[in-house]
């Protein structure tokens, strides 16, 4: 059950942060806000994160992608397109990094691998 939480909770947080940021700005923010775009990007980001975590059977909590998406949400709330774009890009890079580095995808080469 612990591994399932590690795989699902980050994507639920991404979805929640994105929807809350979009709702906040739609209600209290600037008039020309494209809430449909940012809400759908939140659903897409959460789906990608959950899919990768489940397919690759992640065992570590995805803090870095979650933090990067939080930066994008801060950019949405403060109406800073550069920060929002940087957050989305950082989310993509952090998700790929987490899958390949943190989870150590791939098996070591038997000829060069030694366990002491």
Tell me the C-alpha distance between 111 and 48, whole Å. 35
* Whether 90 contacts 84, CB under 8 Å: no
Q: What is the pLDDT of residues 11-41, one digit of tens each?
A: 999 999 999 998 898 888 777 778 788 889 9
pTM, rounded to two decimals: 0.82
Residue entry with tokens 């809400």: 39
Phi first, then psi: give them for residue 62, nearest 5 degrees.
Answer: -85, 75
At CA 4, angle to CA 10 and CA 94, rounded to 5? 35
Tell me the C-alpha distance between 84 and 90, whole Å. 10
pLDDT at 85 > cutoff 60: yes
The residue length of the chain stands at 116
* Whether 93 contacts 67, CB under 8 Å: no
């Amino acid at each position: 059950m612990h591994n399932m939480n590690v795989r699902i909770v980050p994507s639920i947080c991404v979805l929640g942060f994105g929807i809350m940021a979009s709702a906040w700005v739609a209600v209290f923010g600037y008039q020309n806000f494209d809430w449909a775009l940012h809400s759908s990007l939140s659903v897409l980001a959460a789906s990608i994160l959950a899919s990768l975590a489940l397919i690759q059977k992640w065992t570590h909590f995805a803090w870095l992608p979650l933090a990067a998406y939080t930066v994008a949400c801060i950019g949405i709330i403060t109406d800073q397109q550069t920060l929002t774009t940087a957050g989305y890009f950082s989310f993509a890079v952090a998700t790929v990094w987490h899958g390949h580095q943190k989870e150590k995808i791939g098996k070591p080469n038997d000829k060069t691998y030694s366990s002491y």
